Amino acid sequence: MDQNMDLQQILKTIEENNIEYVRMEISDLYGIARCKTIPARQFAGKASMGQTYLRAAVMALDPACAFVQGTGYYSECGYCDSMCFPDLDTFTILPWVPNTARVMLNATYAGKTENGYPREVAKAQCARLKEMGYTLKAATEHEFHLTKLDTGEYAFGTYQYQSTVRSSFNLPFTQQVERDLYKVGIDIESIETEYNPGQMEMSYKPAFGIRSADNAHTYKTAVKEIARQYNYNANFMSKPDPGEHVGSGAHLNHSLWDADGKVSLFYDANGAYHLSDVAQHWIAGILEHAPALTLLSAPTINCLGRYQLGSWSPVNATWGLDNRSCVIRAKVSDQNGTYLENRLPAAACNSYISLAGMIVAGIDGIQRKLPLPEPIKGSAYDSKYLEPSSGIARLPTNMKDALKAFVEDKVVTDALGLDFVRAFVACKVHEMECEATAKATGDSGWEKKYYSYF
């Protein structure tokens, strides 16, 4: 993805590379990529006149493709369309799809920005940071499970974390993912097998602002599509198998820089723990709002089952220095190398939404100059950090509690906006109804069927 591309440059790229089709793509509320594919000869017209898009397809579809009432985007608006325009800076050729390019969409309705759409929500929070003189540099660290399409078996068995032998299960697949993502501007840094059977992780270099979430969106879609070319299904559910103790996460590694992206702002050689005041307030803000952020970061019933003792996932609003049991794992090194790992997000999160929520919390911490609590030494799973007398908030582990924590946090909900919150909450209530129906009918496998498209 080239920055500051204009229409004429794109039309020239289309001609020179024999591009026949362009995907007009958008992220729905659950982070699922949805698109209309147009012949490339139509692109210039669509760039100026726009592309219609069913609002409900973005904001009122559940993972099983059932429409949800009460979102404000379905029957409530007469099943109407958005008018979407390509974000030209996101135009990129897709090497894993023949003669095809893709562009992300900016959505409008009645001439105004669709403020509730996930990518627009994230853009708005990035703009708030910019107004304060900051920009966010971030990368999402996705884990996923691979199963064979024809049999449903895991691509590789046994529990062997970072096994060299196991990592060569299908080198053409992993190498194509790495090469193709590099061609679209996502620079893979490492490839590894994770703890569970069939579980993998590929981490990549960070990017500034909204592009960091665009990269996460592109990464997930690419992995899913390339996997199918090798007879695999790539599943980003937290726990495809309910018996798994360690689920798939999407840790959000990030740091704040000046507005021009030239100076890193998290490190201070003379600060407490070598963290700047800005970094300390930022962490404190995330911890303050961690219960509410849980739903934005782990937005499904399946995701919330990831927060368990001893699971390498957080269970309480804590931080520590290189501590994987906490919400925030601070990686402190030097001026440009210091960053924070937000361990709240689950693999099935919408990266635009988890990014937006984290920025809201961090900004609140900076604006209120919230004090940083003491870091956790040892394990945050220790009973002394779990008792109510510790004063440390526990993270919700079910949809009812997570929804309550979210709607009661007015700082977060006010910043994200009524349009988004109404649709998001309606979909969560719908999920709880689906769960209740499954339990009443004895459908023990409903989660895997319901969330399988992740």
**CA–centroid distance for 206 within its chain:** 14
Q: How far apart (Å, rounded) are the C-alpha atoms in residues 429 and 181?
A: 36
Return the number of other C-beta atoms located less than 10 Å from residue 410's C-beta: 9
Pairing of strands 328-331, 319-321: parallel
Place of tokens 């220790």: 382
11 against 155, higher pLDDT: 11
Quote the distance between the C-alpha of residue 143 and its chain's center. 12
- Res 33: pLDDT: 97
Question: What is the pLDDT confidence band of residue 4, given thresholds at 50, 70 and 90?
Answer: low
Q: Among 83-92, 156-165, 416-425, whose mean pLDDT is lowest?
A: 156-165
Is the pLDDT confidence value at 2 over 60? no
> Mind listing the pLDDT tens digit for each residue in 162-193?
778 777 788 999 999 999 999 999 999 999 98
Give 275-327 pLDDT, tens digit per residue.
999 999 999 999 999 999 999 999 999 999 999 998 899 999 999 999 999 99
pLDDT for residue 424 is more than 80: yes
145 within 8 A of 237, measured Cβ to Cβ: yes
The band of 233, judged by pLDDT with boundaries at 50, 70 and 90, is very high
Q: What does the pLDDT read at residue 1? A: 46
Its pTM stands at: 0.96
pLDDT above 90: residue 343: yes
- Considering only residues 186 and 247, tell me which one the structure prediction assigns the higher pLDDT: 186
Q: Which structure tokens are listed for 86?
A: 């390509």
Of 224, 226, 235, the closest CA to residue 194 belongs to 235
- Please give the pLDDT value at position 423: 98
- Is residue 69 predicted with pLDDT exceeding 90? yes
Q: What is the mean pLDDT of the chain?
A: 95
Q: What is the pLDDT of residue 169?
A: 84
pLDDT, average across residues 118-131:
98
Mean per-residue pLDDT, 199-221: 97
- Report the DSSP beta bridge partners of residue 143: 201
3-state secondary structure of 93: strand
Q: Is 4 left (phi over 0), alpha (psi -120 to 50) or beta?
A: left
Residue 417 has pLDDT above 50, yes or no: yes
pLDDT above 80 (res 5): no
Lowest mean pLDDT among 121-130, 194-203, 275-284: 194-203
Residue labelled with tokens 């499970």: 145
Digit-coded pLDDT (tens) for 364-411? 999 999 999 999 999 999 999 999 999 999 999 999 999 999 999 999
Q: Where do the H-state alpha helices sit in 132-276?
A: 164-167, 171-183, 210-229
